[in-house]
A and B are shown apart, each in its own frame.
Chain A
Amino acid sequence: MTKLNRACLFTASVLALASPAFAEVHSIAPGAGAQERLQEALILAEPGDEIVLEAGRFSLTDGLSLDVDNVTVRGQGMDQSILDFSGQQGAGEGLLVTSDNVVLREFGVEDSKGDGIKSKGADNIVYYKLRVEWTRGPHPENGAYAIYPVESTNVLVDSVTTIGSSDAGIYVGQSKNIIVRNSVAKYNVAGIEIENSYGADVYNNLAVNNTGGILVFDLPDIPQQGGRDVRVFKNIVVDNNTPNFAPEGNIVASVPTGMGVMVMSHYNVEVFQNVLAENATGNVLIVAYSNETEDADYNPYPINVLVTDNVHGRAGYKPAFEGGEMLAAALGGTIPPVTHDGNGRDIIVRDNVPVLSLGLSEATQPASEAQPQIADLSGTEANKPVLTAIVLPEAMEAVVKQ
């Protein structure tokens, strides 16, 4: 028995090791029939295979999708291999991934009618050196999200560029164990947004010319809530003053133009060692979710938020929230770079800048009841970042070292 088991195990491990040798590379060129040829390759791929997008522009009429585990889609560069969805007639996104262990790298996606690239229930996904863009620039009829992993465990977004999303450039929703780094988000409503997620590191990114640079939100009435444990650090978040162009009804439509980092509701957020400047409403805003909700399980308050060791440039010179302008006038032209609505608990700001409190004490209290005052939220020296770094499976990190 034992011998047999060992032999079986041995065979199995040889097979496992050998399997990559059977992996195939399917090279797809742009040109006539690109929709069918590329989609067919994505359907017929076997686990371990690589789909190579040759250089050029793929003109697509419908959404593409991948539902095979352990497949890599590799282009020749984010400006060389371009999936062009300007002629798209159907489907809610450009590329949809619904399988695990997928790597998307080095290609561009332009002008999809809905979202750019969506991955749903796709664990261990890697987005690397991609560009997702709406080429006409900010417009309310652009797709909502450029890069859109949702309901997934282990997400790596590295070295991507997103431009023109009418909601968020990089949006990670209802997921667990996430890294977003080394990426550029510009001319989106929200540059980067982590929503209703558990455990995320957002670092070394550049968020510029969005309406809001980096958002950490938790919302009611969706399956995963109670968002927690997010670190936002070593990012450059500057000049996010593009007028909000999100369609009304979406939560980001309520983001005031000129926002750096915004935390809404949520547990355990650390914002540290970022460069924050030239954001006209403010560099940091910490608020409760202020809409009415009947969701009894939902916590609308920000709880345990630490802001420390950030470098602040000019901010608060044109605050775009209700009553902001009057407030700025009263305070000599600008409001402080950090604003807290007064809600929640354990909100600590240890940056060397003044903090404005709006003095609210209920999530749904109207802004007209605000009692603005300069607040001291500096805590003590014991208030230091304590959240542990996100660790992804080694195979995912290995992808970006290749």
Chain B
Amino acid sequence: MIAWQPAAEPAIPARLQPALALEYGRSHDLTDAVLLRETDLPAEPAPDALVSPSQYLQLLANTLRGLDSPDTSFMLGQLMLPGHDGAASHALVQAPNLRALLETLCRFHARLTPLLRPRFETWDGVALLYWVDAYGAPSLRPALVEMHMTALVALCRWLGGERLPWRFCFNRGAPRHVEQHQVHLGADLRFGCQLDAMLVDAAWLDRPWPRASEMAARLALQATDGEPARAPGLTAALYDYLLEHVCASPTLERTAADFGVSPATFKRQLLRHHTHFQGELDQVRTHVALWLFQVRRADNEEVARYLGFHDAANFRRSFKRWTGLTPGPIRAALDGELGWFARLHGATGA
């Protein structure tokens, strides 16, 4: 059975990420009445108190709304990593290079970045890290993405001692406050993409970092072995599950059974996370289709077969429904001058 965590259940230690948001808000003259509105949280939680993800999300929403400043999400991101989560945070700091850092981050995502789950892929000289919503927070999603991307960029810059040439794509239109992205993330920004991702030339992955010590890294990783695993959020667990089973056309009934609940309960839970099964499945299939287009250079026929569609025409129609575009222009964009991945790859060869 798959381990997962609903948004309403306490899981995040109050002294970790929630405390940072609270402290940031207070240091910028927000009152507790504003910060804690509708969270049901006490102003001074007990040292071992747990906060539910939805309470933490509400706290972030209050902070963002209270400060009403375009840089809040970015400043919160600067504070987020490595965090103070004992062995997991220590392993991040001791990572000898970017690859080890990203692997550690993905392994302990439920502790280090509980709200967004990072997924790390690499192929053909490209390293890709994209962020999946863990608890279904559509209204906060843009701010969460800004926050998490800033956290990772800032951590890499600190540990690596230099700015990595990240490129960014965002599943949203161009914002008014693009200057914040330019300064806190970098100038290579692309809006209106299908996923929230950061890419970098894979050559950076194994370049040793200035302070790296083989032994310290090994010891730090050993220390994480004793750490109890924390279950990922429902939508993150579902994304992983769907990605694994995407070829077999997963159904709600089958998935609910694998998640250990009845279909009705599962439906209700998804609704509470502001989503539904078909939406999540379509998102995974979009990402898989894009990946096949880009990496395998697959045509519609092959992608349709892979995703279990009757024929290419059916797939084409569905793809249009998911993304608003037919596969043709998207593939052309990926291949052509606009191609985000292709351009990066071209730069590697140069």
Co-complex (A, B) = no
The chain A residues found within 8 Å of chain B, CB to CB, are none
